[in-house]
Amino acid sequence: MVNLTGLAQSLDVGGVRIRNRVFLAPMSGITDEAFRQRAHGHGAGLVVSEMVASGELAKGRAGCGLRIRHSGLPVHMVQLAGREAMHMAEGARIAAGEGADIIDINMGCPAKKVTGGYAGSALMLDLDHALSLIEAVVGVVKVPVTVKMRLGWDEGALNAPILARRAEQAGVRMVTVHGRTRCQFYQGKADWRAIARVKEAVSIPVVANGDVCSPSEAAAVLEQSGADALMVGRAHYGAPWVAGGIAAAATGTFSPGIPETPQALTDYVVAHYEDMLALYGIESGLRQARKHLGWYLDRHAEGVAGESRKAILTASEPARVIALLRDVFSRDPQTLNLRSAA
């Protein structure tokens, strides 16, 4: 099994220094400023904004500014999605103007609402068009440009190595590969060995993504893919510390700030909730926070009665939600799944 020590090393991405090699994946509707700050605080080497539609950003649509604004972290990385070169270039220019240190191009999202507009992983169906977007972005910003992709559209078109090689030739400074095709969505097991073919095709850093949830899985991914770094996504549901925990394991230490008692977990969840209310405002914050609260309950309080869960996820008064959270997460430790906090 591969030693994890290398994950603790810094990584240079086009002149931008990343403190370690375990990253938080961009996740739409999840990796907002409040979540990224937590993941960074726990030790994630790099955190990425949730996907921003370049067309909406270019047109000044409401909400886009919040997604791209600088959160005060050492490296600000913004991910853009789109189909039109003009919009991608303008979106990149706006993001860089807001302080983005790295611009990532989304060519991996499998969601129908994205691929239906011929963006995300649908771009892997037309590599010439995909390259036109890359060239448009690289040509308009001075900051490093990266690309996140899948293995291909389906098993009959595993063209990630070709796209990665052409992207490098166009000036891309790092590629991330999710070890599934678009048509797999998130079904089955990520094919980490297939990522090795991308690594062989380029000289820039390659980041492996897909089914990385623990230090043991991180070691297996590195061994099978030969990747330079790892990106962790859905394992963070209800646990913003996972990437940081893997990075800490590479040095034989512990990720800072992980709640280890019922009281600490209570305070952690409540603080995250309050930060989301402050970020979005009460009305929107209540809606945005519910998925996170649901994941905290699923992960750390599986035995909570359905009535309590429903009350937490439907209450419209923040004070009521907080009171219910404190009741649930402050109960006898035996009712809490605190082991999953580590």
The residues annotated as belonging to the active site are 109
Whether the CB-CB separation of 220 and 230 falls below 8 Å is answered with no
Which residues on adjacent β-strands are paired with residue 104? 79, 146
Find out whether 21 and 11 touch, Cβ atoms under 8 Å: yes
Residue type for position 57:
L
Name residue 321's amino acid. Answer: V
Could you give phi then psi for residue 185, rounded to 5 degrees?
Answer: 50, -110
How far is the CA of 37 from the CAs of 76, 275, 284, in angstroms?
11, 10, 20
DSSP-derived secondary structure for 155-201: TT---HHHHHHHHHHTT--EEEEESS-GGGTT-S---HHHHHHHHHH
Cα–Cα distance, 219 to 191 (Å, whole number) = 14
Distance CA 27, CA 235 (A): 11
Closest CA to 187 of 210, 208, 209: 210
